[in-house]
Amino acid sequence: MTDAPEHAVLQLAVLVGSLRAQSFSRKIAKALAARAPDSVRCRFVEIGELPLYNEDLDGDSPPATWATFRAAIRECDAVLFVTPEYNRSIPGCLKNALDVGSRPSGKSVFKGLPAGVVSVSPGKIGAFGSNQALRQTFVFLDMPVMQQPEAYIGSVAELLDDKGAVTNADTAAFLENFMAGLESWIRRVHPGGSSFDAFMKQREKIAEDYVNGDPTSLKAIVTHAGPATFFSPRGDHLEGAEAVAGRYERDAASFHRGGSTDLEVLQASASGDLAFWTGLQHAKTRMGRNGEATEMTLRVTEVFRLEDGGFKLVHRHADPVH
Ligand SMILES: Cc1cc2nc3c(=O)[nH]c(=O)nc-3n(C[C@H](O)[C@H](O)[C@H](O)COP(=O)(O)O)c2cc1C
């Protein structure tokens, strides 16, 4: 979708399959992150606080930690799993994170994301069983996974000092080589991948919240710093970050629950600090005093600027297509 700049920084989610403080897997994950190429930003996404997946909780207001986890993965281009082995398979906490991210049905945040796997064990066979079990889940999650190099870190206790630093030069070189290989493989299988692609998946969800009367998620991506403009479907326009942010909030209040929306992106691009998309927004909403069902299609252009590492909405133009 996006003409990604050649050296756009890849956002790599790192999921660690162990919750214990002195986890060898986390130490190896940190060693990998420290050896990532400059063009890869590793983001440790925590899984320890996610309640066990229960479909009954996954309605209109799922647990906040699930929403935060899903949003974090949506912002990333790829996922690196660093995991121990429990009883020849993956630890329950990691399986739970996969289950949480994969639902609701049709809205999996993992779908299509490239994955890398590193398995870790104090034992000699390097958690081979968990490495393979994890790969099995990628079939249904629809995640392409790097095949080579494979990474089974065995006898891990002998490779680290008491501060968690890798003492073995061959292992250090292997980890560095793994990260370089992972980056070039991700860029090969996912050439359009950029953080803006990931952001646009999130944008669609934010639009859905908005047409259900909830401006909270939009508020988080609206600029509060710089110049901002909004050309509204009513034909008027506003300038200034605070004025525009306030207007979005007020307009959201005109929608009742029960709305839905799709963004039909006709063109999108990101370059340096700026990004845009243009296309059609199809919405089914419930508006007015009685919540009457209304269908509308808007012709939309939105411009975003990177602020504090995230895309912020600085311009929106929307007019109705008749
Ligand atoms: C419930 C449980 C099951 C385990 N099963 C295996 C196993 O199948 N294979 C293995 O190599 N190690 C197994 N171990 C040992 C772990 O490899 C070891 O505890 C390791 O340090 C856990 O990873 P961490 O240091 O990242 O927490 C198991 C540990 C636990 C707690």
pLDDT (0 to 100) of residue 5? 41
Assigned superfamily of 2-189: Flavodoxin domain (3.40.50.360)
pLDDT (0 to 100) of residue 75? 83
| Domain boundaries defined on the chain | 2-189, 195-320
92 CB near ligand 1 (under 6 Å): no
- Token duo for residue 124: 């000699």
Ordered strands of the 237-239 beta sheet? 2-3, 255-271, 274-287, 292-307, 310-320, 229-231, 237-239
- Token duo for residue 32: 């990998």
20 CB near ligand 1 (under 6 Å): yes
Q: How far apart are CA 189 and CA 200, in angstroms?
A: 19
If one residue of 15, 24, 83, 85 were mutated to test the ligand 1 pocket, choosing by the most ligand atoms within 8 A of its CB, it would be 85
84 CB near ligand 1 (under 6 Å): yes
130 CB near ligand 1 (under 6 Å): no
93 CB near ligand 1 (under 6 Å): no
pLDDT (0 to 100) of residue 194? 59
* Closest ligand 1 atom, residue 157 Cα: 21
If one residue of 44, 86, 93 were mutated to test the ligand 1 pocket, choosing by the most ligand atoms within 8 A of its CB, it would be 86
Stated as kind and residue range, the H or E segment containing 119 is: strand 115-120
**Preceding peptide of 149 cis, ω within 30°:** yes
- Strand, coil or helix: 263: strand
152 CB near ligand 1 (under 6 Å): no
pLDDT (0 to 100) of residue 4? 39
Single out the residue of 48, 50, 45 nearest to residue 14, CA to CA.
Answer: 45
85 CB near ligand 1 (under 6 Å): yes
> Phi and psi for 21 in degrees, rounded to 5?
-60, -40
Return per-residue pLDDT of the chain as tens, 322 residues.
444 344 578 889 999 999 999 999 999 999 999 999 998 999 999 999 999 999 999 988 999 999 999 989 988 889 999 999 999 999 999 999 999 999 998 888 998 899 999 999 999 999 999 999 999 999 999 999 999 999 999 999 999 999 999 999 999 999 999 999 999 999 888 765 556 777 888 899 999 999 999 999 999 999 988 799 999 999 999 999 999 999 999 999 999 999 999 999 999 887 767 889 999 999 999 998 888 899 999 999 999 987 766 789 999 999 999 7
* DSSP state, residue 145: B
Domain topology for 195-320: Nuclear Transport Factor 2; Chain: A, (3.10.450)
Stated as kind and residue range, the H or E segment containing 282 is: strand 274-287
Distance in Å, CA 22 to ligand 1 centroid: 13
CB–CB of 166/172 below 8 Å?
A: yes
